[in-house]
């Protein structure tokens, strides 16, 4: 039986509103929502903050779709805003509504960018957004997020966060095209292609493996790095690279591989038909998470998954990864690159030790 598609092909739409009201962002405690429908399993936060039209009716297009299929945050904005609660600081000119902005890479390149599909995105006087549940203060967006949004003519440095009630002279509300763990609109392919096209080069960047620091979910990433190095993969740590350099790697690589998680979602910036290899972790032991399934389908890649193992296994077995790679790539590994990677690590440890000793000696 075929797996249901996560990609929808409806024509996205947007609204232009005058005198609309934005209520401020707020996290809401469970004790304060008694009488509401019971929360779905897995929800850890409830939030308020959306747009209401001039008559006080909630604008459905402005509400983040969440709280379903294991998503951890649910919006609980009332359908009507009472007359005594309308009003706020007046904002003249034309504004673009961006919904929640998320600093975590995987969520930013999916949900946050999914309201950035209007071609006229750079032609607004104001840009407004909400924080997400884990960042009730100002959203700490870095150079990577600003660079990505800039490629879509979206000036994040001009974004104002909606912490106080605001009334808009005019505001445009684009549809949210990526709904976490539910569906994604096919129009998002145009968004990712606009980004990828700016980084396509004439030479291949070869096979790349996006590694990550050790964590409880990964187990033994250094051992897995060595296995991939033996099959000719360049070991890359994206968090240490500028976003422009990362995108050049993704747009021009021959094979993209990584552990489960947000790094794997960078396949969205690669060419259709690319071979990808995902190595499972303790959260996704036997198959990709739904978010990655959505990314694979939208990106139209040839996706392979290497299982982590059963629940009793603390680490993924390097032998099992090596065996799977032989099957996927149709070749045997070489020991030379593995040895070079080990020597490189040893030299790095020696340099760090000497630097620390110099610091101690100078203190």
User: What are the extents of the domains in the chain?
Assistant: 7-186, 206-347
Q: Is the dihedral of CA 69, 71, 72, 74 positive or negative?
A: negative
pLDDT at residue 30, as a whole number = 66
Residues 6 or more apart whose CB falls under 8 angstroms from that of 164 comprise 24, 88, 89
Q: Which helix (H) or strand (E) holds 96?
A: strand 89-100
Q: Are 274 and 296 in contact (CB under 8 A)?
A: no
Across the beta sheet with 302-306, the strand order is 233-236, 206-210, 253-259, 275-279, 302-306
Of 124, 130, 160, give the one whose Cα is nearest residue 62: 130
Cα–Cα distance measured from residue 97 to residue 59, given in angstroms and rounded to the nearest whole number: 12
Cα–Cα distance measured from residue 288 to residue 69, given in angstroms and rounded to the nearest whole number: 15
Cα–Cα distance measured from residue 96 to residue 123, given in angstroms and rounded to the nearest whole number: 9
- CA–CA distances in Å: residue 338 to residues 212, 235, 301, 315, 322: 18, 11, 27, 20, 12
Cα–Cα distance measured from residue 100 to residue 116, given in angstroms and rounded to the nearest whole number: 12
Instruction: Give the residues across from 161 on adjacent strands.
Output: 129
Structure tokens, 316: 């993924």
Protein fold of 206-347: Rossmann fold (3.40.50)
Q: Are 27 and 73 in contact (CB under 8 A)?
A: no
CA 104, 244, 280: angle at the middle one, nearest 5? 45
Cα–Cα distance measured from residue 66 to residue 106, given in angstroms and rounded to the nearest whole number: 16
Cα–Cα distance measured from residue 131 to residue 133, given in angstroms and rounded to the nearest whole number: 7
Of 78, 131, 83, give the one whose Cα is nearest residue 103: 131
DSSP string, 109-147: HHTGGGG---TTTT--SEEEEE--TT--S-----HHHHH
Q: Are 83 and 118 in contact (CB under 8 A)?
A: no
Structure tokens, 240: 């240490």
Of 102, 155, 96, 82, give the one whose Cα is nearest residue 128: 96
Q: Are 269 and 301 in contact (CB under 8 A)?
A: no
- Residues found in the chain: 363
What string of pLDDT tens digits covers the 363 residues of the chain?
A: 567 899 999 999 999 999 999 999 988 876 666 555 545 666 777 889 999 999 999 999 999 977 566 677 788 899 999 999 999 999 999 999 999 998 889 999 999 999 999 988 888 999 999 988 665 555 678 899 999 999 999 999 999 999 999 999 999 999 999 998 899 999 999 999 999 999 999 899 999 999 987 776 777 888 899 999 999 999 999 999 999 999 999 999 999 999 999 999 999 999 999 999 999 988 888 999 999 999 999 999 999 999 987 777 778 889 999 999 999 999 998 887 777 887 887 787 777 777 676 666 665
Of 265, 286, 66, 50, give the one whose Cα is nearest residue 182: 66
């Amino acid at each position: 039986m075929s797996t249901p598609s996560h990609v929808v092909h409806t024509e996205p739409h947007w609204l232009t509103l005058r005198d609309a009201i934005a209520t401020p962002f707020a996290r809401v405690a469970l004790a304060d929502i008694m009488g509401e429908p019971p929360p779905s399993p897995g929800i850890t936060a409830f939030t308020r903050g959306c747009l209401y039209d001039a008559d006080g009716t909630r604008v459905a297009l402005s509400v983040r779709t969440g709280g379903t299929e294991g998503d951890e945050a649910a919006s609980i904005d009332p359908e009507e805003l009472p007359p005594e609660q309308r009003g706020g600081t007046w904002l003249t000119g034309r504004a673009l509504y961006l919904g929640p902005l998320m600093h975590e890479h995987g969520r930013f390149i999916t949900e946050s960018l999914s309201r950035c599909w209007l071609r006229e995105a750079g032609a607004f006087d104001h840009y407004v957004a909400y924080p997400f549940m884990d960042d009730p203060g100002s959203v700490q967006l870095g150079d990577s997020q600003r660079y990505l949004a800039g490629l879509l003519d979206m000036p994040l440095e001009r974004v104002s966060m909606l912490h106080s009630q605001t009334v808009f002279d005019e505001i445009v509300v684009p549809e949210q095209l990526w709904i976490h763990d539910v569906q994604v609109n096919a129009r998002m392919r145009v968004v990712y292609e606009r980004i990828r096209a700016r980084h396509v080069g004439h030479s291949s960047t070869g096979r790349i493996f996006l590694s990550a620091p050790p964590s409880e979910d990964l187990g033994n990433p250094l051992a897995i790095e060595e296995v991939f190095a033996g099959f000719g993969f360049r070991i890359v740590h994206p968090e240490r690279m500028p976003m422009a350099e990362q995108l050049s790697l993704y747009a021009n690589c021959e094979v993209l591989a990584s552990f489960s998680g947000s790094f794997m979602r960078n396949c969205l910036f690669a060419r259709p038909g690319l071979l990808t290899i995902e190595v499972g972790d303790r959260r996704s032991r036997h198959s990709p998470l739904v978010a990655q399934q959505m990314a694979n389908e939208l990106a139209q890649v040839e996706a392979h998954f290497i299982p982590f193992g059963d629940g009793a296994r603390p680490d993924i077995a390097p032998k099992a990864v090596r065996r799977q790679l032989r099957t996927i790539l149709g070749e045997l590994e070489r020991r030379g690159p593995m040895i070079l990677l080990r020597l490189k690590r040893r030299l790095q440890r020696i340099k760090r030790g000497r630097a620390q000793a110099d610091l101690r000696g100078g203190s």
